[in-house]
Amino acid sequence: MKICLIGDGITNQILAIFLAKRKIKVDLYSSFSKYDNKKTRTIGLTNNNKKFLEKNITNFGKLLWPINSIKIFNQSSQDKEVINFNKSKEAKFYMFKNNNLKNVIKTKLSKNKYFSLKKIKSNSFYSKIIKMNYDIIINSDYNNIISSKFFNKKIDKDYKSTAYTTIITHKSVHNHEASQVFTNIGPLAFLPISNTKTSIVYSIKNSSNIRNENEVTKLIRKYNLKYSILNLEKIEKFSVRSSFLKNYYHLNILAFGDLLHRVHPFAGQGFNMTIRDIKSFIKLIDDRVSLGLAIDKSLLHNFEKKNKSINLIFGTGLDLVNQFF
């Protein structure tokens, strides 16, 4: 049994650990993704998914920062929250820097004899991968020829917005409360990652006449009511879109991660949807092994049947919430 993973983002790294633990040979092909390597990219993880990953991979310790409460504001009443998800003894979710977690997982993978990291030699090399003797190919990279050729039919929505991300350094505060301000040009999220650092995600409508990143910085400072800001890291940006593939697989190739579904970043649920997919995929493998059945491309049909409608309904719900605010 041999599986190929295309793309060395955190999604495929986690998949590789689960597969290698089951003594399945895994070749992970590294393909550079600008978005996946953004230094200011942070990700939210639900408490259940945090427990799931720690149980099956490793204790992430201080890499994950607990968020105990969430406050929602709108621009007209910024000094008084519209919704307050009260504090609780157990964290509601956790924040982490994408690259930090990737480095921990890379170290763990390097010690597993069933895992091998390979490099994509050129764009033409993708066509060669398809012809190699892999039982299943899992593609999590939406910027390659396999994606454009076999996974181009999708339900796609352009929010006509740009997400600006940065990390602010500020004076130390007790920083376990996230907040989101729904301004008239888009949602602005303050997501703590330590007592002295907070991640910022500001999705701004393209029609807002924002001319440069200095104007984004001014807006962040304007809507900041909590932090004494000492420094802002370089602002990075990406277009805000949502998309859901109509076909999850082609022959023995399975789409996964951001290629499979992308949602608006305001709720921070994209990665949690992917973790749910990982749980589902691994369970299908375990069920087949327990019954003595082969792990082959028929597994991909079962995965699509089980998850396609759930992902679409969940993503549509997030879109409705965004429109409401």
- The 10s digit of each residue's pLDDT in 249-278 is 999 999 999 999 999 887 678 899 999 999
Specify the pLDDT at position 64. 92
Instruction: Describe the crossing of helices 10-21 and 98-110 by its angle, rounded to 10 degrees.
Output: 30
- Residue 1 pLDDT level (bands cut at 50, 70, 90): confident
Instruction: Describe the crossing of helices 47-56 and 10-21 by its angle, rounded to 10 degrees.
Output: 50
> DSSP string of 220-254?
HHHH--S--EEEEPPPEEEEEEEEEES-SEETTEE
Farthest CA pair distance, the chain: 61
Q: What are the tokens at 284?
A: 């299908």
Position 324 pLDDT exceeds 70: no
Specify the pLDDT at position 197. 96
Mean pLDDT of 109-137: 91
Position 307 pLDDT exceeds 80: yes
Weakest-pLDDT range from 92-96, 169-173, 201-205, 303-307: 92-96
User: Over pLDDT 90: what percentage of the chain?
Assistant: 65
Among 208, 229, 194, which residue's Cα sits nearest to residue 163?
Answer: 208
- The 10s digit of each residue's pLDDT in 163-211 is 999 999 999 999 999 999 999 999 999 999 999 999 999 999 999 988 8
Mean pLDDT of 7-17: 93
If one counts every other C-beta atom within 10 angstroms of the C-beta of residue 172, the result is 10
Specify the pLDDT at position 288. 94
Position 300 pLDDT exceeds 70: yes
Residue 146 contacts residue 54 (beta carbons within 8 Å)? no
Q: Which residue has the tokens 């092909």?
A: 29
- The 10s digit of each residue's pLDDT in 98-117 is 888 888 888 889 889 999 99
Position 77 pLDDT exceeds 90: no
Sheet containing strand 136-139, edge to edge, reads 115-119, 25-30, 2-6, 136-139, 253-255, 249-250
Specify the pLDDT at position 11. 93
Among 126, 136, 121, 115, which residue's Cα sits nearest to residue 28?
Answer: 115
Position 306 pLDDT exceeds 60: yes
Specify the pLDDT at position 41. 81
* Type of residue numbered 264: H
Higher per-residue confidence, 323 vs 134? 134
Weakest-pLDDT range from 20-29, 50-59, 242-251: 50-59
> DSSP string of 180-218?
EEEETTEEEEEEESSSSEEEEEEEEEGGG---SHHHHHH
Position 303 pLDDT exceeds 90: yes
- Residue 151 pLDDT level (bands cut at 50, 70, 90): very high
Specify the pLDDT at position 35. 47
- The 10s digit of each residue's pLDDT in 211-234 is 889 999 999 999 998 999 999 999
Burial grade of 213 (CB within 10 A; 0-12, 13-18, 19 or more): middle
Weakest-pLDDT range from 6-10, 19-23, 34-38, 214-218: 34-38
Mean pLDDT of 230-243: 93
Burial grade of 231 (CB within 10 A; 0-12, 13-18, 19 or more): exposed
- The 10s digit of each residue's pLDDT in 46-74 is 989 999 998 888 878 778 999 998 888 88
Q: Please state, in angstroms and rounded to a whole number, the distance separating the CA atoms of residues 266 and 191.
A: 11
On average, the pLDDT of the chain sits at 89
